């Protein structure tokens, strides 16, 4: 059998964003048909983002045009929810942008500008938000061989892997700084089979996204890990129809890996968990008082449902453990979730 071997970065790019890619096909259900993000859990997530946008607006002095940029917009579900949750005085000044390689979905609010690429550097003032975007920016994978030397992992279209050449250049520099792979195990034997996702393409992608803002706040929320707790065997995986599956770069499944958000952070960035961020935005998951069940049973049921959704969004063992990286631009939007 003939294999078309290449690194995971190139293979993932084709599988996700090629002509028949997982994300670029316009005839499928979109990401919501394969996995459940915070956006799809509850309207509370969009309401929290609307609250954050209002804080950004106030910090910027209520500009005449306030940008809201959703990077990796899927089918526009988050923008739709935020626009519905905004107070009218703010909504009237909002200019919403969806950045997504898939075609514009039918029926999307006509106010939304649909783009395949990020806006031009320094062109917008407002809030840029990327929910589970960076985990789909393709990266290469390194694995230590029998001598403990990091080598590029090559993959064929059916998902079969083999080791390629030793990692060098910018890839090696990034690993040394952000995800060092030990050559030896504690018993001094070669540390073979250790894996790392080489994250500098994500650092560059996030930097480009932040540069779209002239002033405001850029936020990315994603599966994340930090330098002091990198997973020893990496996190590369696939998702299809709501289930985790073996990653196969053939366009039939999502291919994702957790993000080294600490490597992405620029000067002045703040790093919170989603639980901390949503609590600061008024989403806390507390149950409604039992007295409400007697005075207004329908309101109690609604409040109980909202509390359950909020608890899922902030669960420290689940979505609440996501990393939120907040990058202020221009100096006026610092500390909006930590004051």
What are the boundaries of each domain within the chain? 35-138+198-224+259-329, 142-193
Residue 33 has pLDDT above 90, yes or no: no
Q: How confident is the model at residue 35 (pLDDT cuts 50, 70, 90)?
A: low
Residue 48 has pLDDT above 90, yes or no: yes
Higher confidence at residue 24 or residue 246? 246
Residue 1 has pLDDT above 50, yes or no: no
Mean local confidence (pLDDT), 260-272: 97
% of residues, the chain, pLDDT over 90? 78
Residue 294 has pLDDT above 70, yes or no: no
d(CA 249, CA 157): 6
The Cα angle at residue 17 between residues 11 and 23, in degrees rounded to 5: 120
38-69 in b/e form (b: 16+ CB < 10 A) is: bbebbbbbbbbbbbbbbbbbebbeeeeebbbb
Residue 56 has pLDDT above 60, yes or no: yes
Q: What is the pLDDT of residue 2?
A: 45
Class of domain 35-138+198-224+259-329: alpha beta
Q: How many helices (H) and strands (E) in the chain?
A: 11, 15
Which residues, 6 or more positions from 173, have their beta carbon under 8 angstroms from its beta carbon? none
**What integer best gives the mean pLDDT of the chain?**
91
Q: What is the pLDDT of residue 307?
A: 73
Which residues, 6 or more positions from 33, have their beta carbon under 8 angstroms from its beta carbon? 241
Beta bridge partner(s), residue 326: 219, 270
84 to each of 30, 55, 98, 145, 169, how far by Cα in Å? 21, 17, 16, 53, 48
The Cα angle at residue 107 between residues 103 and 111, in degrees rounded to 5: 85
Higher confidence at residue 294 or residue 322? 322
Q: What is the pLDDT of residue 12?
A: 97
3-state secondary structure of 92: coil
pTM for this model (two decimals): 0.91
- The answer to whether 141 touches 196, Cβ cutoff 8 Å, is yes
298 to each of 35, 295, 321, how far by Cα in Å? 31, 9, 32
Beta bridge partner(s), residue 324: 221, 272
Which residues, 6 or more positions from 304, have their beta carbon under 8 angstroms from its beta carbon? 287, 288
Residue 218 has pLDDT above 70, yes or no: yes
* pLDDT tens digits for range 196-217: 999 999 999 999 999 999 999 9
Least confident of 234-238, 245-249, 297-301: 297-301
Q: What is the per-residue DSSP string for 316-333?
A: TTTGGG-EEEEEEESSSS
Mean local confidence (pLDDT), 250-258: 95
* pLDDT tens digits for range 61-116: 999 999 999 999 999 999 999 999 999 999 999 999 999 998 999 999 999 999 99
Residue 288 has pLDDT above 80, yes or no: no
């Amino acid at each position: 059998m003939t294999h078309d071997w290449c690194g995971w970065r190139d293979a993932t790019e084709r599988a996700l964003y090629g002509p028949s890619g997982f994300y670029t096909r316009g005839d499928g259900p979109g990401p919501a048909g394969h996995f459940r993000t915070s956006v799809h859990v509850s309207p509370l997530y969009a309401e929290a983002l609307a609250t954050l946008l209002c804080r950004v607006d106030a910090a910027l002095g209520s500009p005449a045009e306030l940008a809201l940029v959703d990077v990796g917009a899927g089918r526009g579900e988050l923008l739709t929810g935020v626009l519905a949750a905004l107070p009218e005085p703010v909504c009237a000044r909002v200019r919403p942008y969806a950045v997504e390689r898939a075609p514009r979905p039918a029926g999307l609010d006509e106010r939304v500008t649909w783009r395949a690429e990020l806006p031009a550097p320094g062109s917008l003032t407002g809030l840029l938000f990327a929910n589970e975007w960076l985990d789909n920016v393709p990266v290469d994978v390194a694995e230590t061989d029998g001598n403990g030397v990091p080598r590029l992992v090559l993959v064929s279209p059916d998902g079969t892997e083999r080791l390629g050449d030793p990692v060098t250049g910018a890839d090696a520099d990034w690993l040394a700084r952000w995800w060092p792979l030990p050559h030896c195990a504690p018993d001094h034997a070669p540390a073979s089979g250790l894996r790392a996702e080489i994250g500098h393409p994500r650092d560059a992608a996030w930097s480009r996204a932040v540069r779209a803002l002239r002033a405001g706040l850029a936020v990315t929320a994603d599966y994340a890990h930090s330098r002091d707790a990198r997973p020893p065997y990496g996190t590369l995986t696939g998702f299809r129809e709501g289930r985790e599956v073996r990653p196969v770069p053939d366009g039939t499944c999502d291919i994702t890996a957790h993000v080294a958000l600490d490597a992405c952070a620029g000067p002045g960035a703040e790093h919170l968990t989603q639980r901390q961020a949503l609590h600061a935005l008024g989403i806390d998951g507390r149950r409604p008082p039992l007295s409400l069940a007697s005075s207004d049973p329908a309101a109690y049921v609604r409040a109980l449902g909202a509390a359950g959704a909020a608890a899922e969004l902030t669960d420290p063992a689940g979505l609440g453990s996501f990393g939120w990286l907040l990058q202020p631009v221009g100096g006026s939007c610092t500390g909006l979730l930590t004051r």
